[in-house]
Structure 1
Amino acid sequence: MTNSAPSTESRTRRSRMREAEELVPSRRQYLRLKAQYPNAILLYRLGDFYEAFDQDAEIVARDARITLTSRSFGRNGRVPMAGIPHHALHHYLGRLLAAGHTVAIAEQLSEPGRGLVERAVTRVLTPGTVAEAALLPATENCYLAAVAFHGDRIGLAWVDVSTGEFATMELAGRDRMELLAEEFARLAPAECLVAETFEGSLPPAGRLTRLEPWHFDPDRAAQRLRTLFGVQSLAPFGCEHAPAALAAAGAIVAYLERTNPSLVSLLTSLRTELPAYRVGLDAATRRNLELTRGLRTGGTRGSLLGVLDLTCTPMGARALRRLVSEPIRDLVELRRRQDFVAILVANPELRHRLAQILLGAGDLERLMSRIVQGTGSLRDFLTLRQALATAEALVGTLRATSHEPLRVFAEMAGSCNDLATLLERAIVEDEEGARIRPGFCPELDAELAAIQETRRFLATLEQRERERTGIRSLKVGYNKVFGYYLEVTRPHLHRIPPEYVRKQTVATGERFITPELKDAEARLLAAEARITALERSALERLTREVTYRSGAVLHLARWIAQLDAFRALAEVAARYGWVRPELEESDTLEIRGGRHPVVEATLDDRPFVPNDCQLGGEGPQILLVTGPNMGGKSTYLRQVALIVLLAQIGSFVPAQRARIGLVDRIFSRIGAHDDLPGGQSTFLVEMIETATILRQATRRSLVILDEVGRGTATQDGLAIARAVLEDLHNRVAARTLFATHFLELTALTAELPRVANVHVAAIERDGHVVFLYRVLPGPADRAYGIHVARLAGLPSWVADRAEAFLSAPPSAVTIAQKESEQPCVAEPQGPRQLPLPGFPDGSAAAQALARELLALDLTQLSPRQALDWLFQQQTRLRSVTNSQE
């Protein structure tokens, strides 16, 4: 028997159809577009605003921080709505992307006023696919990453769609996840792609986007990459036999083809990197050394990059940031960089000349991104022409020098002369701005000539009609609604010729048209439409030509950026008196007169106290650094690490002399911080970072440890610190700076032959501590903690009480606590002793009281003197007792 009742699904479908029919056309159009992008916020152009509706409106109002309103679209009632003014779109887009949202932008494709405006989604933006310079920090890259898992290997690929940088690598071994975490710390991707089937966890990154697993198939990915680059083999790219790396790179290309296909044209090459080429830096080390962000400021101020960044271009600033973030281990490349910097340091006039030329380069990388996407204007092409001329001037300047390294570097720029010639022939700038140069497009020239004839006719029409009609007040005018017209005031209406056709009545008279005027207007409008089309065609032709040569232009842009970065390193070295370090493949680390680059730069006219460091080679393997708080231990540790890092980016270093055996990794465990959202206490974070160092450091590493074990009980912390120190000495054998307040550890130099004691010097004068900031041989004699507490503003009565405890035997506090829990009189069988609060047995205060009592000559003591002495002792005792309470 057949069920004649309609199904629930069919009833729901008919209900939705009826609801859709009741909606206004623009609402139906919006819902149709929204259905195509269900996982994105749809910004729908409506006049002068980009509107979001329904749940999208609530999200936009919350995360873009704008007002939530509502609007009626027919009989279905009002819906939530949030609008962004079109001129402020980038400002609010930045907020939405920073919150991790995907945004689809629906633009108006037809002119308003003739029925429903045609709309379509023209751009889809995600946090990792932003190419608009207005949405990006000028001096930082914005990376889209992809992670692929293939057997026991991890593939990592990344791209900056605003500059065309595209790279991949493959990670293997037991520490592959730790290496992945280091790469994430270096790249800080805004978005990361993984397969939908991935169930593990990744290091902290931006938004996590899941794709269908087949996008990560190595064979499919390899074919996609071969098609993209138009090659038969990926061997020249270095990843043909790296399936995990191929899978990650292919997933990125697939994602870009889905979200914004025009961006794919910017990917002109793929670089395969080897993790062993770079110095390993984990997230904690990058944070502790403040490489690119100051801990206090959150920006570059107070960081190493903030001192180094004397670049002239945004792309040079990004290149310098990459240099600081990616120290390398290639001795040949490092010496090549040093040679380049050394020549610029020795030639200030050349540095100044290069800086003046570089100012004209602009941001060629991101300019190319706009042009390749098809959003470039004639002004952008003019800027490109100027940038190419700047590059030619830079190449000429370097070739004209007598220094072989500079001439070799000049030859690496490549040539874009053919493109520069094309742009020179295509674009001209005059008082009206940038426009197509005459001769580049003959059809356009013909139309412009024709329209000039029509404009001359219109320009003389007013005078001719005045003379013909005798109406001296007659005027020729134009508006968008009625076009061209002849306007005659009321007193002269009786004098109009019969061929004048009334078009519009205005307050002061009438407006007319003539067949001759309408014919001229038709010719003018048709010519303007053809001119617009021809200009668009010329612009598209230029875009194709530039896109075809985009690989060469991007190569040139990166060459300029590298030159700018090296020039900045030379400028810093000359400004602060840095020297060229000696680099070698050994375990030696010798620094004479080393200085902290950031601290020195902030001291203005005050001198920085330099210090030496000798590790490895003929010196000790571990320096055990002791001394007072605020004495400069952390500064000393950090400056050694920063000097090594600067040397391994090819820079000069802040020292009188430096001899550095290359390191494979730099580890830093400094300061105290917790991870409360992750459920990790300060001490747990400290132990995690320490464990990472002990498990990953090698003989070629540099380890910086500060106050290991201070986050727990004294005995536990001392035991942990000693065990860590012994493991670094006996098993790891890395060059290590180990700062501690556990003075007990200084005795280990008798047991561990490759450990040496040094201390930061301080002296005490008139009860005050004076920090000398000098690192001297031998252990510290005390920590001066109470003096530092006084400097911090600790109340004097608290500091005085602390000094009283400090002058007592080590167990005085514990003994006093235990005695306070006992009865005042001992057991009957033992000696009876009344304890004096504040005067523990054997303390200096108790001994002083005993000496005074024994010194009294009771036979000569008058009653008055005895009472005065007792009164003094009672006052002392009462003050001690009150302080305990």
Structure 2
Amino acid sequence: MKTYTPMIQQYLKIKAEVPDAFLFFRLGDFYEMFFDDALRASRELEITLTARDGGVEEKIPMCGVPHHAASGYIEQLIQKGFKVAICEQTEDPKQTKGVVKREIVQMITPGTVMESKSLLERENHYLAALTGFQDGSFSIGYLDLTTGETKVTMIDSVREAINELINIKPREIVMASDEDPAIEKELKERDIHSFSVMDDCSKEASFEPVLKEIKQEKLIISMCRLLHYVSATQKRSLDHLQKAASYQIDAYLRMDPNSKRNLELSETIRGNGKKGSLVWLLDETMTAMGARMLRRWIDRPLVKTEDINHRLSIVQGLMDAYFERESLRDSLKEVYDLERLAGRVAFGNVSPRDLVQLKKSLQQVPVVQETLAEMNHKESIKLAESMDPCPELLQLLQSSIIDQPPLTIKDGNFIKDGFNSELDQFRDASRNGKTWIAELEQKERKKTGIRSLKIGYNRIFGYYIEITKANLGNLQDGLYERRQTLSNAERFITPELKEKEELILQAQERSTELEYSLFQEIREQVKKEIPRLQKLALVISQLDVLQCFATVSETRHYVKPTFNQDRKIEITDGRHPVVEKVMDAQEYVPNDCVMHKDCEMLLITGPNMSGKSTYMRQVALTAILGQIGCFVPAAKANLPVFDRIFTRIGAADDLVSGQSTFMVEMLEAQHAIANATQDSLILFDEIGRGTSTYDGMALAQAIIEHVHDHIGAKTLFSTHYHELVELSDKLNSLVNVHVAAAEQDGHVVFLHKIKQGPADKSYGIHVAQLANLPDKLINRANELLIGFEAKPKTKMTTAVYEDEEIGQLSLFHNPKNKKPKKTNNIQQEILNLNVLEMTPLEAMNELYRVQKIAKNEAK
């Protein structure tokens, strides 16, 4: 270290505090980076890499960015998952000998961003902490630094902990240095890339406001880990952090990440976009905080019937009051993001324009309250009464900040006239200085009787009173203080003139300083009201989401669902809400879904593209919509309250984890079977198709039997294995249904209608024809199908294969070392032919096939 220059030594000492972050080291008007930081930053930011002397033989790599443009470069690094430490000069260079003192004033990390383009206003930006314990349990704490929302929960297993973190979608996760690295590895595979270490879990007095309602020691440990990390990185007031709310994951309808993805709740499977998701369908919110709450409600539907009916009651009231609802929407449109405004106030980076937004928002609260009262609806009136319009704060903002302030505090002129008398004097002196000088000149002429007396100004002496030598005899002794003698005049000053001179010359500078001081005082008063603002924001967010439900429900013709304790599903003319909206003017074919005690499972058959998956999804989405408190897309709906929803829909490899489609399918099936209860909803789509026919059919049947006999959950199971429809004869609570299709002129027509009983055929080749495969290929497939269907079929049973039968090629040895017997099939093949029903072409194909079998056996 001693070989380096003092400045580089200082840099290295500070850099040692943040080895995992880029250190933006302030040198004059630039933030500089050195050594490895410079090499990496020059690549990531595409800026010029230079070098400088540092006291050693080789020059030190260096690159830098202007301080006024640093935010853009910092944002680039944060979006790539890096961290940035801001190191500022903490002493005045003019008053310091040697190296100016510097220290880190803030760490910016992916989870602690407060201002960035990547900070989406309609989505939360969470930072989480995970703590594992020796008994296998985990605690998770998370917060949104931009809004102050803080929550904590206990998890029983590592699998559930990982699922919960994936559901939370934190931008950064804080863990202990000795936490199991396999957890980080799996989370990275699930698109969570930023991780940090914090080993300090001690309870500090400053954490008490956040921890006051948390009693369980394990929860406190995770929250303290999180708060230590936030305090260490932000180095400023965090007064806006709310009391940590403890929750249990079983207190909500639970869905694992794969089920949420399969149902496309917040983003589509194809393209990962919002359009086409349930959030896209429902988001008619008027505020950013309402949009964030909508996402949280969709992620965590309710399981208490009383809470669900409370929301539905308010939605009903809003639907019945169209004009009042439209008035509410107009008022909410003028309400800004109170949650993040409060966060910026606490963080110290609020601007005058932010306070104007706060003022305009508070002005709408009495209007909203009045509108809710006009609805004359019990629940709406309660909602209005729970709103705190913060009248004192509104009065302060109305009297202090102008309606159109400049962008930054530095520009000044944002405090209203009349708010502060001293500021008014400065402004009066600055704006009306010349007028005052002219008035003083007239006053002094009248006092002295010297008409030629004038008041002038120069840079050296400032303002002065000038009297010609011819008029000096008329001047009263001691009236003025002599300042300068000229050849034909004398210049004087007075205490009053010097006082005004100082006031005029320094008015602008002192005005700006006083405005900043007044702004800080206003900010501190607003800061004291943060808890009230956060409570108000919560109520307005809830109202916004509920009016959104009412608006969508009326527009899309949804109905209010009812809930039963008998585990009955009674959906009349149900629709898939998103597909219906996407189809727009086209007619959507509705379908019923009725499942009573004698029907725990629907086995759904039918051709590809006929709508089996859509039907299954619409049942799940109807349940979710009902349990978040929204009306549902149906003519009538009577539903049970589900505790969990499991889905196995679609085919997708997990290449990152090295898992095939079939392995993903089996893992999702296992998760459902291991965790489902009688009150769950299970959707299984085409289980078993990722392996050989017999293997897949055997697995599908075994899963159906297990769910039917041992779990009893409401289950929708779609399949192409038509052999499975015979299970309805053996399983009392299984009912066959199919999606209807019809043939017209050799083409298939999908009717998209669910009917009782099994499907009569698959129509797979017809679907291939719809996909415009070549006619020659389609014709050949038809010829092959005729041959395949003519072969004797082996009935699928639950018994194992006999030694003589050939099921599939085994990857393992045959325990009995028996070779399959070679059977003479030619006689049986001929007996199976129904010659009278064959067309000439079919007869020729069969003759060719049988001859080929005979030739093979002759060999």
1:273 match: 247
1:713-732 matches, within 5 Å, as 713-732=692-711
Distance 1:850 1:396 in 2: 80
Matched, 1:368 2:342: yes
2:203 corresponding residue in structure 1 = 221
Q: Judge conservation of contact 1:225–1:250 (CA < 8 Å) in 2.
A: yes
Q: Note if 1:552 corresponds to 2:554.
A: no
Match of 2:110 among 107, 122, 127: 127
- CA spacing shift, 1:550–1:78, aligned 2, 3 Å: same
Spell out, residue by residue over 1:396-440, the C-alpha distance to the aligned partner (whole angstroms, 9 max, x if none). 321233111101011222342222222223323368786223454
1:317 Cα deviation after fit: 0.9
> Is the CA contact 1:807–1:844 (under 8 Å) kept in the aligned structure 2?
no
SS state at 1:591 partner: strand
Distance 2:485 2:832 in 1: 123
Q: Deviations over 1:622-670 (max 9, x none)?
A: 0000100010111111111100000000000111100011000011100
Separation in 1, partners of 2:641, 2:203 = 37
Distance 1:258 1:515, change over 3 A: farther
Aligned residue for 2:552, secondary structure, equals: helix
Q: Which of 305, 308, 326 matches 2:279?
A: 305
Match of 2:746 in 1: 767
In structure 2, the partner of 1:596 is: 576
Structure 2: any 5+ residue segments left out of the alignment? 407-411, 442-451, 464-482, 795-805, 807-822, 853-859
Q: Distance in 2 between matches of 1:117 and 1:447?
A: 35
How many correspondences in the alignment?
A: 771
Give the AA of the match of 2:304: D
Distance 1:88 1:840 in 2: 86
Q: Structure 2 vs 1, CA of residues 634 and 105 (structure 1 numbering), >3 Å: closer, same or farther?
A: same
1:437-476 to 2 correspondences below 5 Å: 437-452=416-431, 454=433, 456=435
Equivalent residues in 2 for 1:103-122 (5 A)? 103-107=84-88, 120-122=103-105
Residues 353-409 of structure 1 show CA distances to partners (whole Å, capped at 9, x for unaligned) of: 111111111111111111111111222222211111122322232123311110101
Q: Which moved more, 1:374-383 or 1:157-166?
A: 374-383
Instruction: Give the letter aligned to residue 106 of structure 2.
Output: R
Q: In 1, distance between residues paired with 2:461 and 2:326?
A: 57
1:170 maps onto 2:170 in alignment: no
Q: 1:823 maps to which residue?
A: none
Partner residue in 2 for 1:507? none
Counterpart in the other structure of 1:582: 562
Aligned to 2:161: 180
Letter matched to residue 772 of structure 1: L
For the 8 Å contact 1:106–1:119, the answer to whether it is kept is yes
Q: Does 2:75 correspond to 1:94? A: yes
Structure 1 814/620 Cα, relative in aligned 2: closer, same or farther at 3 Å? closer
Q: 1:791 matched to which residue of 2?
A: 770
Residue 769 of structure 1 deviates from its aligned partner by 0.6
The verdict on how the C-alpha distance between 1:813 and 1:458 changes in structure 2, with shifts beyond 3 A counting, is: farther
Tell me: CA distance 1:768–1:197, structure 2 relative to 1, closer, same or farther (3 Å): same
CA distance in 1, matches of 2:510, 2:586: 69
Q: Could you tell me which amino acid in structure 2 is paired with residue 663 of structure 1?
A: F
The one-letter code matched in structure 2 to 1:93 is: I
The answer to which of 643-652 and 45-54 deviates more is 45-54
Are the aligned partners of 1:585 and 1:661 in contact in 2 as well (CA < 8 Å)? yes
- The aligned amino acid for 2:539 is W
Provide the residue aligned with 1:53 in structure 2. Answer: 34
Q: Work out the CA distance in 2 between the residues paired with 1:139 and 1:60.
A: 31
Counterpart mapping for 1:739-818 below 5 A: 739-810=718-789
Whether 1:637 aligns to 2:612 is no
Helix, strand or coil: the match of 2:688? coil
- How far apart, CA to CA, are the structure 1 residues paired with 2:700 and 2:84? 51
Structure-2 change in CA distance of 1:29 and 1:528 (3 Å): farther
Q: Which residue matches 1:615?
A: 595
Distance in 2 between the 1:352 and 1:538 partners?
39
One-letter amino acid of the structure 2 residue matched with residue 249 of structure 1: M
2:554 is paired with a residue whose SS is helix
C-alpha distance in 1 between matches for 2:288 and 2:106: 25
Asked if structure 2 preserves the Cα contact closer than 8 Å seen for 1:595 and 1:608, the reply is: yes
Q: Deviations over 1:187-208 (max 9, x none)?
A: 1111112222222533626345
Q: For residues 482-493 of structure 1, what are the structure 2 equivalents within 5 Å?
A: none
Is 1:532 the counterpart of 2:517 in the alignment?
no
Q: Secondary structure, in 3 states, of the residue corresponding to 2:367?
A: helix
Q: Deviations over 1:183-226 (max 9, x none)?
A: 223211111122222225336263454545441xxxx4386642
**Amino acid in structure 1 at the alignment position of 2:138:** I
Q: State the Cα distance separating 1:62 from its structure 2 match.
A: 3.8
Residues 1:409 and 2:356 are matched in the alignment: no
Who is 1:189 aligned against?
170
SS in 2 for 1:710: coil
CA distance in 2, matches of 1:378, 1:138: 20
Which residue in 2 is equivalent to 1:465?
none
Matches within 5 A, 1:255-334: 255-262=229-236, 264-334=238-308
The runs of 5 or more residues in structure 1 that have no matched partner are: 1-15, 463-469, 486-497, 502-512, 819-829, 854-872, 879-885
Report the Cα distance in structure 2 between the residues aligned to 1:413 and 1:533, rounded to whole angstroms. Answer: 37
Tell me how far 1:59 sits from its aligned partner: 2.9
Alignment pair present for 1:666 and 2:666: no
Q: Is 1:150–1:243's contact at 8 Å kept on the other side of the alignment?
A: no
Name the amino acid aligned to 1:635.
Answer: T
Residues 795-836 of structure 1, C-alpha deviation per residue, up to 9 Å, x if partnerless? Answer: 222222221111114485999xx9xxxxxxxxxxx99999x9
Give the match's secondary structure for 1:429.
Answer: coil
1:51–1:310: structure 2 CA closer, same or farther, 3 Å change rule?
farther
Offset at residue 85 of structure 1 (A): 5.6
Q: Letter of the 1:333 partner, please give it.
A: D
Aligned pair in 2 of structure 1 residues 748, 394: CA closer, same or farther (>3 Å)?
Answer: same
Q: Which amino acid aligns with 1:421?
A: Q
Matches within 5 A, 1:31-42: 31=12, 33-42=14-23
Cα distance 1:263–1:739, how it changes in 2: closer, same or farther (>3 A)? farther
Structure 2 CA distance for aligned equivalents of residues 435 and 758 of structure 1: 70
SS in 2 for 1:692: helix
Q: Partners in 2 of 1:42 and 1:720 — Cα distance? A: 57
Separation (CA, whole Å) in 2 of partners of 1:524 and 1:199: 68
Structure 2 length-normalised TM: 0.81
Structure 1 CA distance for aligned equivalents of residues 38 and 139 of structure 2 = 38
Q: So what's the TM-score if we normalise by structure 1?
A: 0.79
**Aligned partners of 2:5 and 2:54 also within 8 Å:** no
Question: Does the 8 A contact of 1:142 with 1:160 survive in 2?
Answer: yes
More divergent stretch after superposition (404-413 vs 66-75): 66-75
Structure-2 change in CA distance of 1:849 and 1:649 (3 Å): closer
User: Residues of 2 paired with 1:459 and 1:306: CA distance?
Assistant: 67
Q: CA offsets, 1:552-571, max 9 Å, x none?
A: 11111122112111111111
Aligned to 2:470: none
Once the 2 structures are TM-superposed, how far is the Cα of residue 167 of structure 1 from its aligned partner? Answer: 0.9
| Residue 107 (structure 2) pairs with residue 138 (structure 1) | no
- The answer on 1:388 being equivalent to 2:362 is yes
Report how far residue 849 of structure 1 moved.
6.4
Relative distance call for 1:760 and 1:587 in structure 2 (3 A) is same
Q: What is the letter of the counterpart of residue 726 of structure 2? A: A
CA change 1:584–1:484 in 2 (3 A) is farther
State the Cα deviation string for residues 207-261 of structure 1 (Å, max 9, x = none): 454545441xxxx4386642x35x9xx4xx2x31x22111111211111111114
Range moving further from structure 2, 308-317 or 728-737? 308-317
CA distance in 2, matches of 1:844, 1:83: 87
Code of the aligned partner of 1:156: I
Q: Secondary structure at the match of 2:716?
A: strand
User: 1:446 offset after TM fit, Å?
Assistant: 4.0
Q: Are residue 154 (structure 1) and residue 144 (structure 2) matched?
A: no
Q: Give yes or no for contact 1:595–1:610 (8 Å, CA) kept in 2.
A: yes
705 and 457 in structure 1: CA distance in 2 versus 1, 3 angstrom threshold: same
